């Protein structure tokens, strides 16, 4: 079986050689593709020793641009023992190589040959390893080397090998997380052990905190495990006081820097700082979007660890930890983190209470405000206070240890500082709104606070995001004096955003204000964007990950049109990010405008299938996946974004997923009717020669449905597909009216039902899978799939029994049922095993009434042991 699968893989790879247009590597991978191609040429050149110019290669043919994605794919398969080096002999695979251009010995080869690690560290950081043996040599330094070698090995592992090591990436991930887990669990209760290993922990946490690293961890499905590793580190380092009053330097390992890097990384993984507007209820009273939360991540992680056949899962997993790490992890095990978690949720849900039962927290807040006033010469000390009577109120109690009545930052554990930050933010924002604190002093104070404890950015982003949703803050004028002005670049940015949208098929005007009106932003957004401008993004990419996301959340949560203004301000700061900023701002119209969403959906279908004119398909050369998703973005060319690419970047921001689903189904039905018209024999005789055959039209219906299912899964995930099965599609079938299903003719009705059945099955298969492929899958998704599929089949059975009256045409309904049941029988029989016997019997009975006895029998046969009696009865 395995050899047959490998043979099919080899055949597929060989066929790829014919599709050179699909194999062009992205700019970031060109060098690695060329390296993989040269490697094959070196091997073949060694076998052909004596041939100075192998295969007629001349010195005029430079091999620099010869590599493509096929070379990367084959090298990745060779590294995983899926194919062997005989792939180098495939026709069309060979890359010519000059004898004089043979690769010199790499730094990794020198390391395995015994060269000192310290002499090679710079080269190893920027060059990915090429084999597992090289990684194992480096890992030995990280485990048993000197303290300096451990630190360097940790940094190298998190460098190019993690981010660009295509062949060995999963092994790098395993080694990095094994090193991080070696400090867990925290059973020793000894703080000294963790302080001693702070440099190595600091390097590892920073290494997995970059944007690319987080994407890699997510791709391997390791976000829950990484979050469980970071939680105890946050707990222990957040409970330790710093050694001095200095501000935190992320480049140096300290209590605050380790805590901040771990805490901000954890925050980015679970994203619970998002404002409540994203948790809005749909009209069905259920959540329309599945947001990650700390509780969900821990539940997912614990469910994986608690599988009965854990050994089988471990064999196929890239991670194999110590058995102690497999114990369940609960948030109650980390009281400090739990306290902040609930305080953060309380701050998001409502304004801060004026009565607080923790006087020490208010005292710390007042000390921080006093320091901010001291650093800002224009602000009198009495202006800022959590409570005007707090300085003379005896109920405040004595200050906690580590707090001194002077202008130095308190040497308090990070958790105590974070607990006081929301009160500080409320005081400074209120003072600025009432004119007691200038905007410049506000930003200076926030930046000083972030410099002192970078983890406070989490509280800043969370608090400002929540305040935006309340709509109580007046906008401020961005006049260039009090607040930065976007006037110099705003018209250009708006024009480019409109151009990007127009090229993607969305024709709207994002600028709703007159040119003469000065740009304005609500105070919290203005403060956050001004703070972000002061951060050096090249040095603090982890801070940018938090602030950038926070700004986007604020912009999408506010009813004020602000994203283009933010983009204009950012383009002034970082000119080399111009295209990225324009692309990010191009998503903003889809956060509140369903018209823009509908245009983008239709543009996706048009780019993939070609336009539809007067109810008939219009065939053009530029269509298909390449036209839908676009080609590689050229940094030197004009920014052109394909509709499918823009959809994938924007679909998580759509305001109403119900609308998205209904619009996609509407386009599917329109396209199905168009194909039916293309097959129609009602045309004049001299035009029938170009009629599409039914088989070709059926194939196109499947393509339409596959695109629709993919778009639905991207937009709403599990919850939207559940709504599709339980509410949206049944409602569509039950609805009556002039445009009801089945009202456009026989062939149109057949295609409508056919298309809807494919959309339903493929969207469900994409979310739940086609079978119990692993115990981890079975423990998480099977119960949901079983309940949802059973309800939908029960709905079908009730309609066939006459207990529910349809609104659609009979032909559409019959084609839908027959196609969906046929797909269940042929492609996902595991779903039928999970359906109740009574439902299967009712459905089979209805199929027999339609004279579809063979399909009814096939359905019952796949019902498992419980349906054996029904199968026998049907045969008799």
Instruction: For 490-529, write each residue's pLDDT tens digit.
Output: 989 999 999 999 999 999 888 766 666 788 889 998 998 8
What mean pLDDT value characterizes the chain? 79
Residues 6+ apart with CB under 8 A from 36: 67, 71, 72, 74, 75
Would residue 117 count as lying in a domain?
no
Cβ atoms of 230 and 205 within 8 Å: the answer is: yes
Distances (CA, A) of 621 to 47, 91, 237, 608, 610: 44, 29, 60, 11, 8
Strands (DSSP E) found in 399-473: none
The verdict on 204 and 261 lying in the same domain is yes
| Amino acid 151: pLDDT | 92
Q: Are 133 and 77 within 8 A, CB to CB? A: no
Q: Is the pLDDT of residue 59 over 90?
A: no
Residues 751-799: pLDDT tens digits? 999 999 999 999 999 888 887 654 444 445 566 888 999 999 999 999 9
Q: Are residues 340 and 365 in the same domain?
A: no
Is residue 399 packed enough to be buried (19+ CB in 10 Å), middle (13-18) or exposed (0-12)?
middle
Q: Which of 69, 101, 133 is the last residue of a domain?
A: 101
Same domain, 453 and 558: no
| pLDDT on residue 862 | 87
Task: Encode pLDDT of 835-858 as tens digits.
Answer: 888 999 899 999 999 999 899 888
CA dist., res. 205 & res. 697, Å (int): 53
pLDDT (0 to 100) of residue 759: 96
Report which of 165, 181, 163 is spatially closest to residue 227, judged by C-alpha positions.
181
Q: Is residue 194 part of a domain?
A: yes
On whether the CB atoms of residues 255 and 415 are closer than 8 A, the answer is no
Interatomic CA distance for residues 440 and 425, integer angstroms:
15
Average pLDDT, integer, range 601-626: 80
Does residue 153 form part of some domain? no
53 conformational bin, left if phi > 0, alpha if psi -120 to 50, beta if neither: beta
Phi then psi dihedrals of residue 281, to 5 deg: -80, 145
- Do residue 447 and residue 502 come from a single domain? no
The Cα–Cα gap between 462 and 422 comes to 9
Residues paired with residue 616 on neighbouring β-strands, in sequence order? 613
In this structure, the answer to whether residues 431 and 494 fall within a common structural domain is no
DSSP state of 407: S
Residues 410 and 447 in one domain: yes
Q: State whether 338 and 362 are in the same domain.
A: no
Q: How far apart are CA 668 and CA 621, in angstroms?
A: 22
Helices (H) and strands (E) in the chain, counts: 39, 4
Predicted local distance difference test score (pLDDT) of residue 288:
34
Q: Residue 69: its pLDDT value, please?
A: 86
pLDDT tens-digit series, residues 637-666:
667 889 999 999 898 888 888 999 999 999
Chain center to CA of 333: 28
Domain for residue 626, yes or no? Answer: no
**Number of structural domains in the chain:** 5
Looking at per-residue pLDDT, the higher value among 140 and 471 belongs to 140
Say whether both 205 and 341 belong to one domain.
yes
Structural domain boundaries, residue 754: 714-875
Asked, for residue 703, whether it belongs to a domain, the answer is no
130 falls within a domain: no
- Are both 333 and 413 inside the same structural domain? no
Give the residue from 549, 547, 519 showing the smallest Cα distance to 531. Answer: 547
- Paired strand residues for 617: 612
> Residue 613: which H helix or E strand, with range?
strand 612-613
3-class DSSP string for 788-816: HHHHHHHHHHHHHHCCCCCCCCHHHHHHH
506, 505, 509, 552: which is closest to 529 by C-alpha? 552
146 inside domain: no
Instruction: Pick the last residue of a domain from 101, 123, 155.
Output: 101
Mean pLDDT, to the nearest integer, of 226-234? 90
H/E segment holding residue 612:
strand 612-613
Domain boundary among the residues 58, 76, 101 is at: 101
User: Three-state DSSP class for 151?
Assistant: helix
What pLDDT does residue 286 have?
A: 32
Beta strands 612-613; 520-522: pairing state: unpaired
Query: 509-521: buried (b, 16+ CB within 10 Å) or exposed (e) per residue?
Result: ebeeeeeeeebbb
DSSP 501-547: HHHTT-------S-TTSPPEEEHHHHHHHHHHHHS-TTT-HHHHHHH
Residue 874 — pLDDT band, cuts 50, 70, 90?
A: low
Q: pLDDT tens digit string along 125-145?
A: 888 888 888 999 999 999 898
The structure tokens listed for 86 are: 């005989």
> Which phi and psi angles does 612 have, rounded to 5°?
-115, 125
If asked whether residues 369 and 335 sit together in one domain, one would say no
Has residue 630 been placed in a domain? no
Burial grade of 536 (CB within 10 A; 0-12, 13-18, 19 or more): exposed
Question: Which whole number is the average pLDDT over 702-727?
Answer: 92
**Residue 222 dihedral angles phi and psi, to the nearest 5°:** -110, 10
Question: Does residue 857 share a domain with residue 754?
Answer: yes
Taking 80 as the threshold, does the pLDDT of residue 289 lie above it? Answer: no
Q: Which of 641, 642, 632, 638 shows the shortest CA–CA distance to 26? A: 632
**344 and 425 together in one domain:** no
Mean pLDDT, to the nearest integer, of 669-682? 80
Query: For residue 259, with 0-12 CB atoms within 10 Å meaning exposed, 13-18 middle and 19 or more buried, which class applies?
Result: buried
């Amino acid at each position: 079986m395995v050899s047959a699968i490998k043979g099919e893989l080899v055949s597929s790879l060989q066929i790829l050689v014919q599709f050179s247009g699909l194999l062009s590597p992205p700019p970031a991978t060109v060098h690695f593709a060329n390296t993989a191609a040269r490697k094959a040429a070196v091997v073949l050149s060694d076998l052909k020793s004596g041939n100075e110019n192998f295969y007629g290669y001349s010195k005029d043919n430079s091999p620099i641009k010869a590599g493509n994605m096929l070379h990367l794919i084959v090298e990745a398969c060779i590294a995983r023992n899926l194919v062997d080096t005989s792939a180098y002999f495939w026709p069309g695979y060979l890359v010519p190589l000059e004898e004089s251009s043979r690769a010199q010995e790499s730094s990794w080869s020198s390391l395995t040959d015994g060269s000192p690690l310290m002499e090679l560290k710079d080269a190893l950081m920027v060059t990915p390893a090429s084999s597992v043996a090289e990684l194992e040599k480096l890992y030995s330094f990280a485990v048993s080397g000197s303290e300096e070698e451990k630190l360097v090995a940790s940094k190298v592992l998190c460098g190019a090998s993690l981010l660009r090591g295509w062949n060995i990436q999963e092994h790098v991930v395993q080694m990095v997380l094994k090193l991080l887990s070696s400090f867990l669990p925290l059973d020793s209760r000894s703080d000294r052990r963790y302080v001693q290993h702070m440099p190595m922990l600091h390097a590892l946490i920073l290494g997995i905190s970059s944007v690319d690293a987080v994407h890699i961890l997510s791709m391997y499905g390791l976000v829950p495990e990484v979050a469980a590793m970071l939680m105890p580190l946050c707990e222990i380092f957040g409970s330790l006081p710093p050694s001095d009053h200095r501000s935190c330097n992320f480049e140096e390992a300290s209590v605050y820097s380790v805590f901040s890097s771990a805490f901000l990384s954890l925050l980015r993984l679970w994203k619970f700082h998002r404002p409540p507007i994203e948790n809005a209820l749909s009209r069905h009273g259920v959540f329309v979007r599945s947001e990650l939360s700390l509780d969900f991540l821990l539940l997912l992680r614990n469910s994986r660890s608690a599988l009965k056949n854990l050994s089988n899962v471990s064999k196929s997993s890239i991670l194999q930890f110590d058995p102690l790490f497999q114990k369940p992890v609960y948030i109650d095990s980390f009281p400090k983190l739990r306290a902040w978690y609930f305080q953060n949720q309380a701050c998001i849900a409502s304004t801060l209470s004026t009565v607080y039962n923790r006087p020490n927290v208010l005292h710390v807040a007042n000390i921080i405000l006093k320091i901010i006033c001291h650093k800002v010469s224009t602000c009198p000390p009495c202006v800022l206070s959590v409570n005007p009577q707090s300085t003379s109120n005896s109920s405040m109690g004595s200050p906690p240890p580590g707090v001194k009545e002077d202008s130095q930052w308190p040497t308090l554990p990070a958790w105590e500082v974070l607990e006081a930050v929301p009160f500080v933010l409320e005081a400074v924002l209120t003072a600025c709104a009432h004119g007691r604190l200038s905007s410049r002093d506000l930003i200076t104070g926030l930046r000083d606070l972030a410099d002192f404890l970078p983890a406070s950015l989490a509280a800043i982003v969370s608090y400002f995001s929540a305040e935006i949703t309340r709509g109580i803050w007046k906008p401020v004028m961005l006049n260039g004096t009090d607040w930065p002005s976007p006037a110099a670049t705003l018209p250009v940015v708006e024009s480019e955003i409109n151009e990007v949208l127009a090229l993607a098929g969305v024709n709207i005007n994002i600028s709703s204000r007159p040119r003469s009106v000065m740009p304005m932003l609500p105070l919290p957004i203005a403060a956050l964007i001004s703070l972000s401008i002061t951060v050096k993004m090249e040095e603090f990419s982890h801070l940018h990950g938090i602030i950038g996301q926070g700004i986007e959340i604020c912009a999408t949560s506010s009813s004020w049109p602000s994203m283009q203004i933010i983009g204009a301000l950012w383009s002034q700061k970082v000119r080399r990010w111009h295209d990225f900023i324009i692309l990010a701002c191009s998503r903003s119209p889809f956060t509140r405008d369903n018209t823009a969403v509908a245009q983008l959906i239709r543009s996706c279908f048009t780019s993939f299938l070609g336009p539809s004119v007067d109810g008939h398909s219009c065939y053009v050369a530029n269509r298909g996946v390449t036209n839908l998703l676009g080609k590689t973005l050229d940094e030197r060319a004009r920014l052109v974004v394909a509709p499918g690419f823009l959809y994938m970047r924007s679909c998580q921001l759509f305001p109403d997923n119900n609308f998205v689903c209904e619009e996609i189904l509407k386009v599917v039905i329109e396209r199905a009717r168009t194909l039916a018209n293309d097959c129609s024999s009602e045309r004049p005789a001299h035009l029938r020669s170009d009629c599409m055959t039914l088989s070709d039209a059926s194939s196109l219906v499947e393509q339409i449905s596959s695109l629709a299912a993919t778009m639905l899964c991207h937009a709403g995930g599990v919850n939207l597909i559940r709504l599709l099965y339980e509410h949206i599609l049944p409602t569509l079938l039950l609805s009556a009216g002039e445009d009801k299903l089945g009202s456009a003719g026989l062939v149109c009705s057949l295609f409508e039902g056919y298309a809807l059945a494919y959309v339903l099955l493929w969207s469900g298969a994409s979310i739940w899978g086609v079978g119990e492929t692993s115990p981890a899958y079975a423990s998480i998704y099977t119960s949901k799939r079983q309940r949802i599929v059973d309800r939908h089949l029960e709905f079908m059975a009730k309609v066939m029994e006459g207990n529910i009256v349809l609104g659609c045409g009979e032909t559409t309904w019959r084609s839908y049922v027959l196609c969906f049941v046929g797909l269940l029988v042929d492609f996902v029989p595991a779903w039928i095993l999970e359906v109740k016997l009574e439902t299967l019997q009712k459905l089979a009975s209805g199929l027999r009434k339609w004279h579809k006895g063979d399909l009814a029998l096939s359905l019952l046969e796949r019902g498992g042991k419980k349906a054996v009696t029904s199968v026998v009865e049907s045969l008799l």
